[in-house]
Amino acid sequence: MMTKVVKFGGSSLASAEQFKKVADIIHAEDSRRYVVPSAPGKRFSEDTKVTDMLYACYDLAAKGKSFDEAFEKIKERYNGIIEGLGLDLDLTDEFNIVKACFIGKAGRDYAASRGEYLNGIVLAKYLGYEFVDAADIIFFKETGEFDAERTQKAVAERLIGIDRAVVPGFYGSMPNDTIKTFSRGGSDITGSIVAAGVGADLYENWTDVSGFLISDPRIVKDPLPINTITYKELRELSYMGAGVLHEDAIFPVRKAGIAINIKNTNAPDDPGTMIVESTSQKPQFTITGIAGKKGFTVVNIEKDMMNSELGFGRRVLEVFEKNGISFEHMPSGIDTMSIVVHQTEFEPKEQEILSGLHRNVHPDSIDIETDLALIAVVGRAMKSARGTAGRIFSALAHAHVNVKMIDQGSSELNIIIGVAEKDFEAAIKSIYEIFVVHQL
């Protein structure tokens, strides 16, 4: 029998109504045997995700303030779902344990993880599936790193004997049995780990959009979905902020050769996006996707003939390394070298870095530009298409966007463009226009 692991995001499980859609999807195919839920997300745009409610509630508890009211609101979210589904389930004992652990200062990770934990209990009950606590099968090392080896073994051992199970997303346990979560959006990672662990045929990731879209729908109106994308392309896009799938969710399934299908809970018949190792499918457009992030600083270093000075680059990077700053990009010319870093990391170390650079490489000048946004234009077809960079430039010039930096990856899979933050949205829209709208 085929086995699919299905992960449902917060908006897919935000209310009883959404739970019903989820159950319909699961029941529609016998192969959908292992289910990974997120915590209840937003029901409408101004709503608050349960995860955020839990963080806020725990922060009150940790400061010794009264958190009863905030806690009641969280209980209401779950009880609303339970009632709406007409379930014979009482979470009072569970709520009391969580409350006692808040008072006992069990930690922010513990607090946040309860969102998925409780939702997993509700979903398991509703589906009639067994509930398997992620704390028993997903492990972190002492260092806080994910323990892939131990986890893989535990997931396989525990789940393969169970026909159908619900495993809550987002968290696992430390060697001392405390709870640790992945970073935000981490239920995607749990789904991937479970899929690899049980050797699934497919990892379906159900969300609120009909697949990975060519661009962020909050910037471009109704962008087209991508039919098929490779892991490599996706990695570039999710690293650069395309929020659909957590950037670390790719690794476990990729290693196991399992494809991911991004699907829409609210439009289950839409094909969504297939994420695969490689494909012979020709992409519809020269570019596969566009993504970007704000909040970067560029340090431009100028020195005549720097390219012939042995060890120049190493001495520059040494300064950043000593200050604990990793760099994002490093475009360079004959007499210039630019280091792109995260603004929030750079700011507190700015003066140490400047004096370190003067000492180490004696530059002619250093200038710093802040409030930069980076945009990644990604596509496996760019390699064989001539003039891609030229088309990007002309689109940006047309939109009156000044390009501050450009860097092409050696794989020719992506082109990174630096623009002022104020131009970010206009730049993305203009690139979408020229490569997608004009090609339709």
295-306 residues labelled b (16+ CB within 10 A) or e (exposed):
ebbbbbbebeeb
Cα–Cα distance, 69 to 208 (Å, whole number):
30
Q: Which does 217 bind (CB under 5 to 8 A by kind): ligand ASP, ligand ADP, Mg ion, none?
A: ligand ADP
Question: What region, left, alpha or beta, does residue 113 occupy, with left being phi > 0 and alpha being psi -120 to 50 degrees?
Answer: alpha
The stretch near ligand ASP (CB under 6 A) out of 178-186, 294-302, 341-349, 373-381 is 178-186
CA proximity to 325, closest of 306, 339, 337: 339
Cα–Cα distance, 365 to 337 (Å, whole number):
11
230/297 with CB nearer ligand ADP:
230
For position 187 contacting ligand ASP by CB under 6 A, the verdict is yes
Q: What minimum distance in Å lies between the beta carbon of 40 and Mg ion?
A: 13
Residues 44, 84, 243, 60: what is their CA dihedral angle, to the nearest 10 degrees? 80
Q: What minimum distance in Å lies between the beta carbon of 207 and Mg ion?
A: 7
The stretch near ligand ASP (CB under 6 A) out of 182-190, 236-244, 374-382, 392-400 is 182-190
140/170 with CB nearer ligand ASP:
170
Q: Which does 169 bind (CB under 5 to 8 A by kind): ligand ADP, ligand ASP, Mg ion, none?
A: ligand ASP
Q: Which of residues 177-236 bind Mg ion (CB under 5 A)?
A: 185
For position 10 contacting ligand ASP by CB under 6 A, the verdict is yes
Number of H helices, E strands in the chain: 14, 15
Q: What minimum distance in Å lies between the beta carbon of 104 and ligand ADP?
A: 30
Show the tokens assigned to 64.
């010794």
Residue from 186, 252, 289, 418 touching ligand ASP (CB under 6 A): that is 186
Q: What minimum distance in Å lies between the beta carbon of 188 and ligand ADP?
A: 6
Q: Which does 170 bind (CB under 5 to 8 A by kind): ligand ASP, ligand ADP, Mg ion, none?
A: ligand ASP
User: What do you get for the CA distance between the two ends of the chain, in Å?
Assistant: 40
Indicate the SS3 state at residue 144.
coil
Task: Name residue 256's beta-bridge partners.
Answer: none
For position 168 contacting Mg ion by CB under 5 A, the verdict is no
Cα–Cα distance, 405 to 18 (Å, whole number):
44
170/346 with CB nearer ligand ASP:
170
The stretch near ligand ASP (CB under 6 A) out of 13-21, 137-145, 180-188, 407-415 is 180-188
The burial class, CB within 10 Å (0-12 / 13-18 / 19+), for 423 is: buried
Query: Are 32 and 191 in contact, with CB atoms under 8 Å apart?
Result: no
CA proximity to 196, closest of 138, 156, 137: 156
Q: What minimum distance in Å lies between the beta carbon of 357 and ligand ASP?
A: 38
Query: Are 274 and 289 in contact, with CB atoms under 8 Å apart?
Result: no
88/222 with CB nearer ligand ADP:
222
Cα–Cα distance, 85 to 61 (Å, whole number):
31
Q: Which of residues 98-117 bind ligand ASP (CB under 6 A)?
A: 115
- In the bound state, the residue with its beta carbon closest to Mg ion is 185
39/378 with CB nearer ligand ASP:
39
The burial class, CB within 10 Å (0-12 / 13-18 / 19+), for 237 is: buried
Query: Are 37 and 207 in contact, with CB atoms under 8 Å apart?
Result: no
Residue from 4, 32, 33, 49 touching ligand ASP (CB under 6 A): that is 49
In order, the DSSP letters of 424-435 are HHHHHHHHHHHH
For position 37 contacting ligand ASP by CB under 6 A, the verdict is no
Q: What minimum distance in Å lies between the beta carbon of 303 and ligand ASP?
A: 44
Q: Which of residues 295-334 bind ligand ASP (CB under 6 A)?
A: none
207/388 with CB nearer Mg ion:
207
Cα–Cα distance, 91 to 266 (Å, whole number):
28
Q: Which residues of the shown chain bind ligand ADP in the complex (CB under 6 A)?
A: 9-12, 38, 41, 185, 207-209, 212-213, 215-218, 242-244
Q: Under the rule (CB under 6 A), what is the footprint of ligand ASP?
A: 10, 38-39, 49, 51, 115, 169-170, 184-188
Q: Under the rule (CB under 5 A), what is the footprint of Mg ion?
A: 9, 185
